[in-house]
């Protein structure tokens, strides 16, 4: 892999990471609810899911999923239903209130649960698989060993995504002072929950042709 190829991938990876999606919404939601430090577990899970998608695309399995109408439909449906369930759960999340307005808070999910939420959000996203199947081959030299190239691309993508997702979480957490009251936190849950359900619903309209064009 040449330096020029790598720099081009860095630019593409930055655009992919910054583009709004379920990962960005989740990072902002958890950043606003739990703060940046605790959202790191969620973002770590997002990276594990991203690595799985990269591995699937790099191994050629992604192409098989796209080629099979049934397999693609299964992945798409699972991913869409998971995001809708996640959004609905956040929409209905209970807000605990202690003594005084500033004691209002939300229950913090366990570390493992935050990691798993992040992992499932990225790993069940068929749009991610479609995009990687379309993008990765453009940066891989077919005449050079595959694994070292995939390792470089995966490391680059994850580092960039870590920075971007933490930035989203930081921006959201800086707004925490405006979300102290119970009504404000409920509104926050419904906004982010609604966004996740919207993104999940939009996945049902993803077509195989978008990846094959």
**Cα separation, 31 vs 23, whole angstroms:** 12
What is the b/e burial string over 135-161, where b = at least 16 CB atoms within 10 angstroms of the residue's CB?
A: ebeebbeeeeeeeebbeebbebbbebb
Instruction: Specify the pLDDT at position 159.
Output: 95
Tokens representing 69?
């109408």
pLDDT-based confidence at residue 212 (cuts at 50, 70, 90): very low
Residue ranges per structural domain of the chain:
25-208
* Arithmetic mean of pLDDT, 67-88: 77
Instruction: Quick: pLDDT tens for 128-185.
Output: 777 777 677 777 777 788 788 889 999 999 999 999 999 999 988 887 666 556 666 6
- Between these two residues, 192 and 51, which has the higher pLDDT value? 51
Per-residue confidence band for 106, with pLDDT thresholds at 50, 70 and 90 = low
Q: Which pLDDT does position 124 carry in this prediction? A: 82
Q: pLDDT tens digits, residue range 8-31? A: 889 888 887 887 788 888 998 899
pLDDT in the model for residue 104: 42
Provide the 8-state DSSP code for 132.
H
Residue 66 confidence class, pLDDT cut points 50, 70, 90: low
As a whole number of Å, the end-to-end CA separation of the chain is 26
Q: Which residue has the higher pLDDT, 42 or 201?
A: 42
What is the rounded CA–CA span in Å between residue 12 and residue 159? 13
What is the three-state SS of 172-193? HHCCHHHCCCHHHHHHHHHHHH
pTM: 0.71
CB within 8 Å of 136: residues ≥ 6 apart: 54, 57, 58, 153
Q: What pLDDT does residue 185 have?
A: 65
Question: What percent of the chain is modeled with pLDDT above 90?
Answer: 23
């Amino acid at each position: 892999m040449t330096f020029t190829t790598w720099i081009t991938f860095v630019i593409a990876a930055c655009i992919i990471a910054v583009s709004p999606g379920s990962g960005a919404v989740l990072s902002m939601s958890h950043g606003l609810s739990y703060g940046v430090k605790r959202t790191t577990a969620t973002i770590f899970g997002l990276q594990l899911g991203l690595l799985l998608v990269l591995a699937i695309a790099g191994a050629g399995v992604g192409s098989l999923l796209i080629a099979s109408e049934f397999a693609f439909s299964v992945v798409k449906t699972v991913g869409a239903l998971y995001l809708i369930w996640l959004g609905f759960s956040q929409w209905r999340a209970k807000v605990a209130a202690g003594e005084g307005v500033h004691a209002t808070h939300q229950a913090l999910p366990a570390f493992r649960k935050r990691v798993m939420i992040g992992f499932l959000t990225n790993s069940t996203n068929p749009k991610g698989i479609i995009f990687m199947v379309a993008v990765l081959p453009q940066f891989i030299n077919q005449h050079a060993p595959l694994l070292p190239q995939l390792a470089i691309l995966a490391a680059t993508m994850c580092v960039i995504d870590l920075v971007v997702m933490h930035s989203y979480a930081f921006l959201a957490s800086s707004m925490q002072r405006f979300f102290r009251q119970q009504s404000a936190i409920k509104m926050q849950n419904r906004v982010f929950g609604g966004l996740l359900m919207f993104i999940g619903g939009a996945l049902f309209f993803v077509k195989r042709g978008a990846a094959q064009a």
